[in-house]
Structure 1
Amino acid sequence: MNLRSSEPALSISFVTGTAPGKWFDRFGERTGHREPVTGESIDPMAELIDGQADLVLVRLPDPRIDDTYHLVRLYEEEPGIAVPKDSELSLVDTLGRGDISDQTVFYTPDVDGRVDVRAVGEAVDVVATGVGVVLAPRPLLRRLGSRRTENRGYRDGSPTTIALVWRVLDDCDVIQDFVGVARGRTGASSRTAQPKRTASEKAAAKKVRRAATEGVPRRKPVGRGGTGAARRRGRR
């Protein structure tokens, strides 16, 4: 693969609780672009605004995203709940509002669904002492949890959305190629920037395929009639 050494590496910041490593690997495998410079952040949108990142993976909603940005929704996160490891609440797979009516809730997402990663982390630290619960996206609770906490599904919560965001003015093939990888576009897609083969490379590949088939007799297709006749002969 010929890396495009003249182009700058794409800078990508991803919000805590996401795990985009597989996309970074595929981006490097499927395109001729440089490997992206990546980093986890509790507030990647701030890094995009400050010009520290070209492309960010954020948790919606975010009121700072306006029409000067492109936004592509990728997937939804399961709502979750963090409980003390030794709590009876850890004995079930999914909890609801009725199960925690007697518990102190140290954090829950805002009414509009916004999640403060730093506040969630601080609340999980409190739960680790053996008291209360925290309501937040389950992948985030997995990331911030410790050996003294457990996370479970929360059936009365709302899912959160993870999305890619970048500046409209910065839109380019490199960003579009990464977006394609994140959305599951295959390496054969026209959007991925695979280096094109030259005419001589195509001719060489054709020669190899032809050589591989030389001397191999072609099988004549057998129709239904022929198959039936063979069966009748076999029964005689």
Structure 2
Amino acid sequence: MTGSEAPPSFRLAYVPGVTPGKWVRIWQERLPGTPLDLVAVPAAEAQRLLREGGADAGVVRLPVDRTVFSAIPLYTETTVVVVPKDHAIAAVDEVSLEDLADDVVFQPLDDTLPWQGLPGRPAIERPATTADAIELVAAGVGVLVVPQSLARLHHRRDLTYRPVTDAPRSGVALSWPEDRTTDLVDDFIGIVRGRTVNSTRGRRPSPAERPEGTAKGTTKDQPKDGARRAGRPAREAAGGTSAAGGRRGAATGRGGTPAGRRGARPGRPRRRS
């Protein structure tokens, strides 16, 4: 590599609420010569970014287009409702969608939940972003139902949140274009799945990475075929076996008498005249 050439890098996209820090630290420990660049992207834009090559892989929200992308589901988030601290909901541990019937429930344009029908009373208009909806909740205008990670991301001292037991949930996955499964993508998959450095489930090493003198499919400690033959027991090399009734019996006569001592039958005794 010349001085003008930059080392290859791995670009990882991530959507709001996702925290890939742990995986990034492991990457830096295992592949210190390969930079990992983080690319923040709105949830609605993540698939387009990956499709156009703006990142090698992404930690995104499901669903994704499985005709284009591979995906490894990572976890499913708890759904919560964000309310002012003086709201009645703040006094309970959890709520159901029915408990929101009298509240204005905001659905921002970047909402990530797969709603079949929004609970509560509809807002006059939809906020542009989750951050805008949080500002409206803080003003006491309504409430917001979101994945828990987004409630934490937009935390304010005057707001709190509670789990909603029967609300739809958002799944998070590692995803990448199926036709661009590179070695670096395989390396990151191994990190996300918790594989160790020496795991045999990772990508196969290139010939340059194999230990010197090791052929494909063999190991240094594996004896060569000739060495295995040389180490066979003497009786096996001679064609014998210790199995009962085996070939060793062919070398002896009845009663264990060596076959080589079996001569002609003794003659009949002469009659005395």
Aligned residue pairs total: 192
> Would you say the 8 A contact 2:16–2:41 is kept in 1?
yes
**Shift >4 Å, 4+ stretches:** 192-199
- Residue 155 (structure 2) pairs with residue 155 (structure 1): no
1:29 match:
29
* Residue of 95, 112, 115 corresponding to 1:111: 115
Q: 1:8 to 1:112 in 2, by over 3 A?
A: farther
- 1:140-176 CA deviation, whole Å, 9 max, x = no partner? 1211232232122111112221011111222111111
Q: TM-score, with normalisation over the residues of structure 1?
A: 0.70
Determine helix, strand or coil for the equivalent of 1:127.
Answer: helix
Determine helix, strand or coil for the equivalent of 1:180.
Answer: helix
Moved more, 13-22 or 165-174: 165-174
Amino acid at match of 1:131: V
Cα distance in 1 between the residues matched to 2:136 and 2:15 = 22
Alignment of structure 1 residues 203-222 onto 2, 5 Å: none
Cα distance in 1 between the residues matched to 2:33 and 2:93 = 43
> Would you say the 8 A contact 2:8–2:35 is kept in 1?
no
> Would you say the 8 A contact 2:106–2:127 is kept in 1?
no
Identity across matched positions, percent: 30
Task: Pick 1 or 2: higher relative contact order, CA cutoff 8 A, min separation 6.
Answer: 1
Q: 1:155 to 1:33 in 2, by over 3 A?
A: farther
Alignment of structure 1 residues 82-121 onto 2, 5 Å: 82-107=82-107, 109-111=113-115, 119-121=129-131
Structure 2: which 5+ residue stretches go unaligned? 118-125, 213-273
Q: CA deviation at 1:112?
A: 6.0
- Taking only aligned residues, the RMSD between alpha carbons, in angstroms, comes to 3.0
More helix by share: 1
> Would you say the 8 A contact 1:33–1:174 is kept in 2?
no
Q: 1:68 to 1:197 in 2, by over 3 A?
A: closer
Q: 1:168 to 1:6 in 2, by over 3 A?
A: farther
Alignment of structure 1 residues 1-236 onto 2, 5 Å: 7-31=7-31, 34-42=34-42, 43-62=45-64, 65-107=65-107, 109-111=113-115, 119-190=129-200, 191=202
More strand by share: 1
> Would you say the 8 A contact 2:114–2:169 is kept in 1?
no
- 1:184-207 CA deviation, whole Å, 9 max, x = no partner? 2223313178996967xxxxxxxx
